[in-house]
A and B are shown apart, each in its own frame.
Chain A
């Protein structure tokens, strides 16, 4: 009955924690980057949060799932960091406190999906990846990419189609589980 308050099996060994760390590290950083600008600070906070999870593993009774717990903890640490900074530096605009406590802020699906997309991009064939990133990250038009890489516009078009198709394929399974989660909780 009370399975939800047991220590999560992920916390039982370093090797399972390693898996948990590696698959959630990028999304955790993205959660912190909602609030922080500095990438070094972000990575520090995420490292500390993982360390906290690991060190407190005996006492932690994680409800629902560990991943959600991790993202919430990263979010809270980021906010606390900003609040402390605020004493020295008027970085935070008024009204931002409400923004922090908004419950919708506990939805991390965008970060998870973005992290997954980034991972999938890394696995595209190199030419395809190069073309895709120029369009997707540098906002270049097909014409601009074609002349930059000395390729035909048609090649760019084909490669972009392939990129999207491959990304969609790679994200398929993931998106299924992502959107199924709320239902599972509901059934329970």
Chain B
């Protein structure tokens, strides 16, 4: 019985996908068999199914949605219809900050900055989409997309690169160089952190630094230490590295000193420590950028048994 059932499906699949079976292979009893009709339905919807398979996973779309949920209303109209080039301040407050520096030099650069406390979304001329995290700067030559597609990054950005086989997309972060062939990936290269971190979400990129070259595939995480000039590769859950664009960030056993560096960029404050040992306290959890600073500090206080002494923008961390 079971074999018969399996045979039936094999026969129908061959009919739909492998014309070799020739005409006449549809048996009269197939015609009003509900399973056969379903197989036909699945087959006839393949274009639509193909589109569905290329969509952003619903899980990821929800993360984006949730990130927008708690923000004050803003005018999204201009986002939709802005022309080639667009910057948006996603997180509250004082609007966005952008400046074009144009001199008559051949090496003219356009500079985009996401100041502390804000995340920006930038669409480059070639259609590449860039999420620029707080305290980050992206610059590129005015000739971008003509002969090359090279950008220079300081800080953290999530790139969704438009495919172009002729002109590869190159991210220069310090002395590390990431060459891309149409893909989505995250780069983290803040000046005060002696490392460059890259996570690849889809596609393929080539990472070169310190005379070494590594090809990354989806799900790879790469850490390049500026001190040891070493490249370390491992597999990660990419969601944790891209969630910041929705204003949310995951920490997995992060030191308090790293954590405060990030909070300084987000909330525009300055942290100091009453003792060196406090810097190495660990923190795991999720921090939501939409929350106030005091809310976030409360979470850290509860987990780490520390206390905060706040004087204007200066926050001193000490043992409880």
Contacts and interface: CB of A to CB of B under 8 A. Distances in A.
Interface residues of A, number: 51
A143 B58 CA distance: 35
Given A39-B55, A117-B49, A161-B6, A22 B62 contact: yes
A129 to B, nearest CB: 11
Interface SS majority for chain B: helix
A18 B62 contact: yes
A114 B47 CA distance: 9
Nearest to A81: B80
Interface string B23-60: 00000000000010011011101101111111110110
A26 B19 contact: no
B129 A40 contact: yes
B9 interface: yes
Contact of A161 (B9, B55, B59, B129): B9
Contacts of B76: 48
A149 to B, nearest CB: 15
Given A22-B58, A162-B9, A115 B52 contact: yes
Interface in B107-159: 129
Contact of B52 (A46, A51, A118, A142): A118
Nearest to A27: B52
Q: Is the interface of A mostly helix, strand, loop or mixed?
A: helix
Contacts of B68: 47, 51
A163 interface: yes
Contacts of B65: 21, 47, 50-51
A164 B20 contact: no
Interface in A32-70: 33, 39-40, 43-44, 46-48, 50-51, 54
Nearest to B61: A25
Contacts of A33: 51
Given A158-B10, A161-B6, A161-B10, A168 B35 contact: yes
B5 interface: yes
B64 interface: yes
Nearest to B70: A14
Contacts of B46: 136-137
Given A40-B129, A135-B17, A157-B14, A114 B45 contact: yes
B18 A21 contact: no
A175 interface: yes
A54 B6 CA distance: 46
B17 A114 contact: no
Contact of B13 (A115, A117, A164): A164
A165 B64 contact: no
Q: Which of A40, A81, A161 has the most CB of B within 10 A?
A: A161
B10 A175 contact: no
B12 interface: yes
A29 interface: yes
B69 interface: yes
Interface of A: 14, 18, 21-23, 25-27, 29-30, 33, 39-40, 43-44, 46-48, 50-51, 54, 81, 84, 110-111, 113-115, 117-119, 121-122, 135-137, 141-143, 157-158, 160-165, 167-168, 171, 175
9 contacts: A18-B66, A25-B55, A44-B80, A50-B65, A117-B49, A121-B49, A161-B6, A164-B12, A175-B38
